Amino acid sequence: MKRLFSSFLVILALLLTITFADAKGKGHGHDDGGPKAYKITQVDPASITVSLGESGETHEVFAIDGKTIITIDGAPATPSDLKAGMKAKIQAGPDNKAISIHAGEAAAHPSKGRVG
């Protein structure tokens, strides 16, 4: 009986670990608990392209529509107000449609005094 109970606890612990790791591994701005931070590389009226990670070599495109909430430094904005180089936090659904985009000016590089 002790052996059966111990086996059950081990299996339960493994299942919980796998479930937690799967939930934690979601990303790319999808609606998994919060927006993800990106750098805007291109914007048009129907989509926003952003770079991922420190290198900026990987890009992702999010759809924008009339329901997408857009702010810049906390103020309401439109897609045409978004500019390449801005930092943005994007929350998106599983279909890569942006639910919200909260952007701000890119910070100056502390050691070089320039944007980027």
* Element containing residue 110 per DSSP (H, E): none
pLDDT in tens, 47-94: 999 998 777 788 999 999 999 999 999 999 999 999 999 999 999 998
Question: Is residue 88 one of the residues assigned to a domain?
Answer: yes
| Tally of domains in the chain | 1
Task: Give the integer Cα–Cα distance in Å for 39 and 101.
Answer: 11
pTM of the prediction?
A: 0.63
Query: How many whole angstroms separate alpha carbon 28 and alpha carbon 57?
Result: 14
Is the pLDDT at 8 greater than 90? The verdict is no
46 falls within a domain: yes
- Asked if residue 114 belongs to a domain, the reply is no
- What type of residue is 7? S
Q: Which of 50, 32, 45 is nearest to 103 (CA)?
A: 50
Domain-embedded: residue 35: yes
CA 85 – CA 110 distance, rounded (Å): 16
Domain containing 40 equals: 1-107
Domain of 93, CATH number, reads 2.40.50
